[in-house]
Structure 1
């Protein structure tokens, strides 16, 4: 079968905040990608993927929604012909492995699908997000639908609120010293337990106050700075955000990285923030001097995302 590629995504800003309706900014990350394929002879990877797709097929078959319907006969036939999701996107790393899979299935089997070539009005974007939220909930228990949307459109997406999302133009990369990078924690993170911890914290009035009065304000400022190319202001705000996350989101930061996180703030060599729900996977880093950050983090695997 001939299926298009769908890319990983990075939520630059807005993790957890978007659950509570603050801003978010997600960008496609084309270093990792996935596509539906078929094989005559299963290896361990493709067999496991086919088994998982069958579970997803059952879930989709039982979706009782007027939002979307699928060509289930074609889906079933392809599964029987050895379909699997061939993906280089690491799972449990906060870069949207399930999002790319959901985008692939929607693209291949949704009936009357909204295509990326048509005029994407706000209503169409919100409908897509709602469909993807429904589909991706199979993987996480609760999904915003944002990861599949980003993967499907392959465009940066600005989340102003739950009801207001739009494609965003981000400044083109420069050959400067500054960078956004991924730091590999070498641990798998699971979304659902992390979201549950967050929801329990939300019962605390002090935590809710911090989220609306500090976390959301600095997140929104970072997004504005990034989109406008205000690099100096961006790093001031990212540092503040990094401090807030270290203080208030400790359970989402792997224990081995608490000191590494604080070292960045103390030295100004780099600033770390959560990439996705945390608990493992990638940690997102911002630095005004990528070479200095590389030296400071020489014991860890880094991956470049964007240059300033």
Structure 2
């Protein structure tokens, strides 16, 4: 039996805002994926992965998962002894859910209860998110559980607020479309922990809390609403505001290599950039009505188109 593949994820909207109850829109990204496999552990990568799984299994053994879910840790540990490793091309520290895919793969294989993403209820989605938050806390200290949930479901998810989330349909990908959502490689890896620390420090000041609530969350939610309706004029209008806001308030999270092109996009209106995940490195998200034009302006940077419209 082939083990299922678990894809990476991309937070299109809602990074940091979801901590403060904004909406979020997260989609799977099939270019990167991972799966659990057995091998003789001949390569360094396989050995390292197997060793990490051993340590992770010890951590999972200490958890009491909420609800009726149980993980068969004994079977997991036995498989690790027999050469289990996580075969993944998902880059770490790039904001695309490397630990999320691993958590989803382990849950799928060792959970006592099997769920079908197509028929899962809204209530079970909430339970799963809580379970995944516990399981992923090993990697980030604190986790919302959102990354593993997206990787597990392999469907776009709309986070309505801290309590509610649901499956959602995004507009069809138009392979011939001029417009695009794309990733830019900043060339350095980012670490989630320190970036979230910076955010919480900023949240201690009243001015930042106020602008977060009154501006960031408003623009963010308006972008999601317009994107889902494929209403591109209000979408780009709010996206520009969001990009300007991030440039002013999320400076520490924007990799230095990206400062100038971020500003260039705002000034020229040729494209707009935003963080992909917590920032600090990894990927940056770009949106443009004319990808050919944006691509020329961003020559020298490695880019990947993830969606056309």
Superposed pair shares fold, TM > 0.5: yes
Distance 2:225 2:134 in 1: 30
Q: Which stretch shifts more, 295-304 or 171-180?
A: 171-180
Q: Shift of residue 41 of structure 1?
A: 3.4
What residue in structure 2 maps to residue 35 of structure 1? 35
Distance 1:134 1:197 in 2: 23
What residue in structure 2 maps to residue 296 of structure 1? 297
What residue in structure 2 maps to residue 231 of structure 1? 232
Secondary structure of the 1:209 match is helix
Distance 2:41 2:145 in 1: 33
User: Are residues 266 and 66 of structure 1, via their aligned partners in 2, closer, same or farther at CA, if it must alter by over 3 Å?
Assistant: closer
Q: Shift of residue 40 of structure 1?
A: 1.3
Distance 1:289 1:135 in 2: 41
User: Are residues 21 and 44 of structure 1, via their aligned partners in 2, closer, same or farther at CA, if it must alter by over 3 Å?
Assistant: same
Number of aligned positions between the proteins = 307
Q: Shift of residue 54 of structure 1?
A: 1.0
- Work out whether residues 65 and 131 of structure 2, in 8 Å CA contact, stay in contact via their aligned partners in 1: no
Aligned 1:232-251 pairs, distance under 5 A = 232-251=233-252
* Ranges in structure 2 where 5+ consecutive residues have no aligned partner: none
- Work out whether residues 179 and 288 of structure 1, in 8 Å CA contact, stay in contact via their aligned partners in 2: yes
Whether 2:79 is the aligned partner of 1:96: answer: no
Whether 2:146 is the aligned partner of 1:123: answer: no
Distance 2:173 2:218 in 1: 26
Q: Shift of residue 66 of structure 1?
A: 4.0
The one-character-per-residue Cα deviations of 1:80-113 (angstroms, maximum 9, x if unpaired) are: 0111100011110000111000000000111124
Distance 2:21 2:114 in 1: 27
Q: Which stretch shifts more, 232-241 or 149-158?
A: 232-241
Q: Shift of residue 2 of structure 1?
A: 3.1
What residue in structure 2 maps to residue 138 of structure 1? 138
The one-character-per-residue Cα deviations of 1:19-47 (angstroms, maximum 9, x if unpaired) are: 11110000010011000001013311111
- Work out whether residues 99 and 149 of structure 1, in 8 Å CA contact, stay in contact via their aligned partners in 2: yes
The one-character-per-residue Cα deviations of 1:202-235 (angstroms, maximum 9, x if unpaired) are: 1010010011100000000000010000012111
- Work out whether residues 66 and 130 of structure 2, in 8 Å CA contact, stay in contact via their aligned partners in 1: no
Q: Shift of residue 176 of structure 1?
A: 1.5
Secondary structure of the 1:47 match is helix
Distance 2:166 2:100 in 1: 18
Distance 2:211 2:42 in 1: 50
- Work out whether residues 114 and 128 of structure 1, in 8 Å CA contact, stay in contact via their aligned partners in 2: no
Whether 2:169 is the aligned partner of 1:173: answer: no
Q: CA RMSD in A?
A: 1.0
Distance 2:230 2:188 in 1: 33
- Work out whether residues 21 and 161 of structure 2, in 8 Å CA contact, stay in contact via their aligned partners in 1: yes
Secondary structure of the 2:221 match is helix
- Work out whether residues 42 and 82 of structure 1, in 8 Å CA contact, stay in contact via their aligned partners in 2: no
- Work out whether residues 225 and 231 of structure 1, in 8 Å CA contact, stay in contact via their aligned partners in 2: yes
- Work out whether residues 66 and 127 of structure 2, in 8 Å CA contact, stay in contact via their aligned partners in 1: no
Distance 1:254 1:231 in 2: 28
Distance 1:160 1:221 in 2: 12
- Runs of 4+ displaced beyond 6 Å: none
Secondary structure of the 1:161 match is coil
Aligned 1:156-195 pairs, distance under 5 A = 156-174=156-174, 175-195=176-196
What residue in structure 2 maps to residue 105 of structure 1? 106
Distance 1:275 1:46 in 2: 28
